[in-house]
Structure 1
Amino acid sequence: MPILLPLSLVGFGYLIYQLFAGATLALPIALGVAAGFAAHQLGCSTFASFVIGVIAFMGVIAASRVVALKLTKTYARITLALLFAVPAALTGYSLAHALGVVLGTTGIVAGLVAAMACAAIAAERMLRPAI
């Protein structure tokens, strides 16, 4: 029984880490979900809609990596980084604020800190070379 609390905290911490890591990919996730819903509204089956959404998600990530490697002008690279950083900041703020409300606090300061962190991580992911 004494091992249960530390393992629960490790599991909860890993879950929070994965939520914020997903927040940095807010733009590709949103476009993949939108493509999946659009395919479902057009009459595709559930599995086909899921596949279309996953392909759209991976396509956005691949296209952004290619564009990031091809861009040479600083302003164009900054614009591309902002294209990914702004949705990541909004998602990180919403996630931290929701976690703060669940824990019983207002979460506004935690939300602002998380928004800045998610935006910085998303911008750094776009500007580093593709691995």
Structure 2
Amino acid sequence: MSELSTPQAEKITQHPLETVLKDLEYLVNSLAMELEVAPSDRKAHQDLLRRTIRVAEAALQIPDQTWPVTVYPDDPTEAITIVEDDEEFAPEIEALRQQGWKIMTVTQFNQNVEKLAAQKSDSNPN
């Protein structure tokens, strides 16, 4: 029997705080439930608070190497700037566009998101 080889998919790196966030959300929700169910159970409340502190302290020990690097373009006109839909600033926005800035209003951004979602749903008929 032969094995089929498949190209390795590009690995999407998860931010190191994603797991921390999930753990903290779980602990906070557990504490909220404990307070509702057993408001006088001081020992359980303290246990959850200690666990919350341990998770936060562990997060503070995450090495710099695992932190994602944010690359900011040297030229601000390379990035897309999203601005509120406000006709009061239309002349300034247009002047910046003429200087090469890529500026999009919130409405334009939402339209692009809807368009992408429609394209995605058209390509995945489930």
**Larger fraction in strand:** 2
**Larger fraction in helix:** 1
Larger relative contact order, structure 1 or 2 (CA cutoff 8 Å, min sep 6): 1
Name the TM tier (shorter chain). Answer: under 0.3
Highest CA radius of gyration, 1 or 2? 2
State the TM-score, normalizing by the size of structure 1: 0.24
State the TM-score, normalizing by the size of structure 2: 0.25
